[in-house]
Amino acid sequence: MSRRTVALGALALSALLALTACSSSSNGAAAGGDDLGLAKGGTLTVATEGTYRPFTYHDESGKLVGYDVEIIEAVAKKLDLKVEFQETQWDGIFAGLDAGRVDVIANQVSINPEREAKYLFTEPYTVSPSVVVVKDDDDSVKTFADLKGKKTAQSLTSNFFKLAEEAGADVTPIEGWAQAVELLRQGRVDATVNDKLTFLDYEKTDGPTGLKIAAETDPAKSAIVTTKNKKALVEKMDDALDALREDGTLATISEKYFGADVTQ
Q: What is the pLDDT of residue 205?
A: 86
Q: pLDDT tens across 184-215, in order?
A: 999 999 999 999 999 998 988 888 899 999 99
Confidence band of 28 (pLDDT split at 50, 70, 90): very low
Considering all CA atoms of the chain, what is the largest pairwise distance in Å, rounded to the nearest integer? 100
Residue 149 pLDDT greater than 80, yes or no:
yes
Q: Minimum mean pLDDT among 147-156, 195-204, 247-256: which range? A: 195-204
pLDDT classification of 34: cutoffs 50, 70, 90: low
pLDDT tens digit string along 213-231?
999 999 999 999 999 999 9
Q: How confident is the model at residue 113, as a pLDDT?
A: 94
Please, what is the average pLDDT of the chain?
Answer: 88
Under CATH, which architecture does the 37-126+222-258 domain have?
3-Layer(aba) Sandwich (3.40)
For residue 45, CA distances in Å to 96, 104, 106, 117 come to: 11, 7, 10, 23
Q: What is the pTM of this model?
A: 0.76
What is the CATH architecture of 128-220?
3-Layer(aba) Sandwich (3.40)
Confidence (pLDDT) at 206: 87
Nearest by Cα to 56 from 78, 82, 88: 88
The percent of residues above 90 in pLDDT, for the chain, comes to 80
Q: In the chain, list all ranges with CATH 3.40.190.10.
A: 37-126+222-258, 128-220
What pLDDT shows up at residue 137? 96
Is the pLDDT at 101 greater than 70? The verdict is yes
- Tens of pLDDT, residue by residue over 122-134, are 999 999 999 999 9
- pLDDT higher than threshold 50 for residue 263: yes
Q: How confident is the model at residue 29 (pLDDT cuts 50, 70, 90)?
A: very low
Query: Please, which pLDDT band fits residue 264 given cuts at 50, 70 and 90?
Result: confident
pLDDT at position 5, please?
Answer: 42
SS (H, E, C) the chain: CCHHHHHHHHHHHHHHHHHHHHHHHHHHHHHHCHHHCCCECCEEEEEECCCECCCEEECCCCCEECHHHHHHHHHHHHCCCEEEEEECCHHHHHHHHHCCCCCEEEEEEECCHHHHCCEEECCCCEEEEEEEEEECCCCCCCCHHHHCCCEEEECCCCHHHHHHHHCCCEEEECCCHHHHHHHHHCCCCCEEEEEHHHHHHHHHHHCCCCEEEEEEEEEEEEEEEEECCCHHHHHHHHHHHHHHHHCCHHHHHHHHHHCCCCCC
pLDDT at residue 11 tops 50 = no
Q: What is the pLDDT of residue 17?
A: 39
pLDDT computed for residue 33 by the predictor: 53
- Residue 14 pLDDT more than 90? no
Decide the pairing of beta strands 151-154 and 170-173: parallel
